[in-house]
């Protein structure tokens, strides 16, 4: 694809692994209360279970509504992320303006459905109240190197959502090598994605520091070429404060302070929220009892 000709697609895997190991090893220096609070504030609080019910999602949303009163010294989460059919429940229940409504769409998680159905599902999610849409790259088409098709599909999804954020999942764990992670990331950004995201969380491995390192370097390069800042979202398997701090360190050291805000950095998680609350409480008050709020 001609759009990719301006990029050097070769990756030095040894150098990448060495850099990632260094960042991971040194990431503990960021383990402080303010960083933990920040990490909580960029969580996309996610429930994507086959058994999700309207009442369960309404209950989760009500907890988000009451969070500021329950924990007045902490910021709220960045977004609530659910399946498309449950977006109306969040829209009806959510009363705080500071939290976005995110919907997975476009045949999530496999992306194995029709082009027009994917676009329609994205559009419908926004009509129902989503302000952000998380979709998945067509991995099979990507593996066939049908890059023009993948580009057109992503561009159509972005065009269909009327200014909402498009967070494009490259499913990094399915990629067969580091080069494919790089190509998928660049292709997604060139096609109009507002965020690139590691994983659906439905396959193993999900998010990895290596994928994050490659993707953040792609974002940095894209910004230098275009002047456009693209967001980054690791998701899948990030459940402990130490896990989250690793991704914070990668973003901070590669992209810098300009990306340390919820408009450009999110973490998709479900269990992480409670674990961060417990750790913040432990550091602040010497209370090691788990906080099971969400």
Per-residue pLDDT, 288: 78
pLDDT at res. 289: 83
| Nearest Cα to Cα of residue 134 among 173, 99, 171 | 171
Whole-number pLDDT of residue 283 = 87
Please give the order of strands across the beta sheet that includes 195-197. Answer: 231-233, 195-197, 165-169, 132-136, 100-104, 79-82, 43-46, 267-269
Length of the chain: 294
Residue 155 lies in a domain: yes
Tell the burial category of 74 from Cβ atoms under 10 Å away from its Cβ (0-12, 13-18, 19+).
middle
User: Residue 3's pLDDT is what?
Assistant: 86
CB atoms within 10 A of CB 254: 20
Task: List the catalytic residues.
Answer: 134, 197, 233
Domain presence at residue 293: no
User: Cα–Cα distance between 28 and 248 in angstroms, integer?
Assistant: 11
Specify if 292 maps to a domain.
no
Burial zone of 60 (CB within 10 Å; 0-12 exposed, 13-18 middle, 19+ buried): buried
Give the per-residue pLDDT at 1. Answer: 80
Assigned domain for 290 exists: no
Phi, psi angle pair for 104, to nearest 5°: -75, 155
242 found inside a domain = yes
pLDDT at 182: 98
- What's the whole-model pTM score? 0.96
Reading the block at residue 105, the tokens are 């769409």
Given this model, what pLDDT does residue 286 score? 75
Question: In total, how many domains does the chain have?
Answer: 1
What CATH number is associated with residue 255? Answer: 3.20.20.70
Residue 201 domain-assigned? yes
Burial of 199 (0-12, 13-18, 19+ CB in 10 A): buried
Q: Which pLDDT value is given to residue 287? A: 79
Distances (CA, A) of 29 to 32, 80, 184, 212: 8, 29, 32, 19
> Is residue 18 in some structural domain?
yes
Please indicate, yes or no, if residue 294 is contained in any of the structural domains. no
Query: pLDDT tens, position by position, for the chain (294 residues)?
Result: 888 999 999 999 999 999 999 999 999 999 999 999 999 999 999 999 999 999 999 999 999 999 999 999 999 999 999 999 999 999 999 999 999 999 999 999 999 999 999 999 999 999 999 999 999 999 999 999 999 999 999 999 999 999 999 999 999 999 999 999 999 999 999 999 999 999 999 999 999 999 999 999 999 999 999 999 999 999 999 999 999 999 999 999 999 999 999 999 999 998 999 999 999 999 888 777 888 899
Range of the domain at 171: 2-285
Q: What separation in angstroms does the CA of 220 have from each of 19, 215, 275?
A: 16, 9, 30
């Amino acid at each position: 694809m001609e759009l990719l000709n301006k990029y050097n697609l070769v990756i030095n895997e040894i150098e990448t692994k060495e850099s990632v190991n260094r960042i991971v090893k040194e990431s503990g220096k960021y383990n402080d209360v303010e960083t933990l609070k920040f990490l909580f504030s960029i969580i996309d609080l996610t429930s994507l279970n086959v058994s999700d019910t309207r009442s369960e999602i309404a209950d989760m949303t009500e907890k988000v509504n009451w969070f500021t009163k329950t924990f007045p010294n902490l910021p709220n989460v960045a977004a609530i992320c659910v399946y498309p059919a449950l977006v109306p429940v969040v829209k009806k229940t959510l009363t705080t303006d500071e939290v976005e409504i995110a919907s997975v769409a476009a045949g999530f998680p496999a992306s194995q459905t029709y082009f027009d159905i994917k676009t329609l599902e994205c559009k419908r999610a926004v009509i129902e109240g989503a302000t952000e849409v998380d979709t998945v790259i067509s991995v099979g088409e990507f593996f066939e190197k049908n890059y023009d098709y993948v580009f057109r599909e992503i561009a159509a999804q972005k065009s269909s959502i009327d200014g909402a954020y498009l967070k494009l999942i490259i499913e990094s764990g399915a990629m067969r090598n580091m080069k494919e992670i790089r190509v998928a990331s660049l292709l997604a950004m060139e096609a109009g994605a507002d965020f690139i995201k590691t994983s659906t969380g439905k396959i193993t491995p999900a998010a990895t520091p290596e994928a994050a390192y490659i993707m953040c370097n792609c974002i940095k390069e894209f910004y230098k070429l275009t002047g456009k800042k693209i967001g980054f979202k690791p998701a899948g398997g990030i459940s402990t404060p130490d896990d989250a701090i690793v991704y914070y360190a990668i973003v901070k050291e590669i992209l810098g302070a300009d990306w340390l805000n919820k408009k450009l950095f999110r973490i998709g998680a479900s269990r992480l929220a409670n674990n961060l609350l417990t750790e913040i409480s432990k550091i602040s008050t010497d209370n090691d009892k788990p906080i099971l709020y969400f």
